[in-house]
Amino acid sequence: MSADGLRSTPLHDRHVALGARMVPFAGWEMPVQYEGVIPEHLAVRRDRGVFDVSHMGQFHVEGPKQQELLQGLLSNDLARLSDGEAQYTLLTNDNGGIVDDLIAYRLGPFHTLLVVNAGNRAAAYAWLKEREISGSEVRDASDDYALLAVQGPTAIASLGLPEAPAFTHAMGEVDGVEVMVCRTGYTGEAGVELMCAAEDAVGLWDAVVANGTTPCGLGARDTLRLEVCYPLHGNDITSDTDAISAGLGWTCALEKEFSGVAELRRVKEEGPDRKLVAFVMDEKAVPRQGMPIHGGGEVTSGTHSPMLDLGIGMGYVPAASAAPGTELVIDVRGRPKRAHVVKKPIYTKSIHVKEES
């Protein structure tokens, strides 16, 4: 831990040596950029990049009743998974609010691995631990692991790994380092997340970077995820927002019983009052979190899209204003700027091939 109370990952010295700009993030000192957000973003869209996401948390949930425990706390249906598969799911509170969004990896009938957001690690762990039932045990193993996301169209081949369907995982080896290879990510590109023992992180990082993979910081991670409309917990989804309004109904198995399901069924039945929409700016301006949207809405995430060269964002608007094409006006520090709602994702490779030059 550094003098200012921030934690650092096993790769901290590598980031500094590469000239990264280090910033505080969710209690960690993390690289926001190396060469720059835009070149890092383009590297991932066109080739590949590597992100240190070792700040994320890993919980082992084990025991003969582990699935029963998780089925009552997570929104998605774990029973749909076979060994070697994973799913995006939500940890919900009794009001249907989102305590965290996470990925659950089925390691066996009595063993699930949860990868949670750094900023929610303590809250998510406490939430689960307090609700343990006999025959289940939740263990925070975050400090044992490092996690590298290698993302982009050339990522998997560059690592010498076999192609595999999205949301699967398998043990593998990269440059002599044993890794859990997860076909998951937060960029909208093909790629993997490699989980390894914390003490192997430097060797794995060096091998990936030496292989010509562009080091990428949290800045590009944010622009990449926002172009493809992956929600960020704390911005777009919180313990006060529900999955239906956020457009995450597909992660909720409403036919099963879990925390907050009654409220989610009600919202689904009655229709949400407001919806999380994606939008692009029609005038030069960069929307930011917290900016009001005229007519009773608010921006929850905003940035400049490197692929579209436009301001883009997501935000909650009244349900009547949520249809693609609806014109919005965003209050950018007192200046009204025009935008319009678009279908999610904002960026897809197929319709933007012309951008690749």
Binding site for another protein (CB under 8 A): 32-33, 35-39, 219, 223, 284-286, 288, 303-304, 306, 311, 333, 335
Nearer to another protein, 30 or 192 (CB): 30
Distance of closest approach, residue 306 Cβ to another protein, in angstroms: 8
Residue 309 near residue 352, CB atoms below 8 Å:
no
Nearer to another protein, 123 or 308 (CB): 308
Nearer to another protein, 86 or 226 (CB): 226
In 260-326, the DSSP E strands lie at 274-281, 292-293, 297-305, 310-318
290-296 LR contacts (CB < 8 Å, sep 24+): 291/315, 291/330, 291/331, 291/332, 291/333, 292/330, 292/331, 293/317, 293/328, 293/329, 293/330, 293/331, 294/328, 294/329, 294/330, 294/331, 294/336, 295/321, 295/328, 295/329
Distance of closest approach, residue 35 Cβ to another protein, in angstroms: 7
Nearer to another protein, 35 or 298 (CB): 35
Sheet holding 111-116, edge to edge: 86-92, 98-108, 111-116, 57-62, 137-140
Interior/surface letters 311-345, b for 16+ CB within 10 angstroms, e for the rest = bbbbbbbeeebbeeebebbbebeeeebebebbebe
Nearer to another protein, 112 or 223 (CB): 223
Nearer to another protein, 92 or 223 (CB): 223
Distance of closest approach, residue 219 Cβ to another protein, in angstroms: 5
Residue 272 near residue 242, CB atoms below 8 Å:
yes
Distance of closest approach, residue 332 Cβ to another protein, in angstroms: 8
Distance of closest approach, residue 222 Cβ to another protein, in angstroms: 8
**What does the angle CA 126 – CA 300 – CA 149 come to, to the nearest 5 degrees?**
60
Separation between Cα atoms, residue 316 and residue 300, nearest integer Å = 7
Distance of closest approach, residue 284 Cβ to another protein, in angstroms: 6
Distance of closest approach, residue 282 Cβ to another protein, in angstroms: 14
Nearer to another protein, 37 or 195 (CB): 37
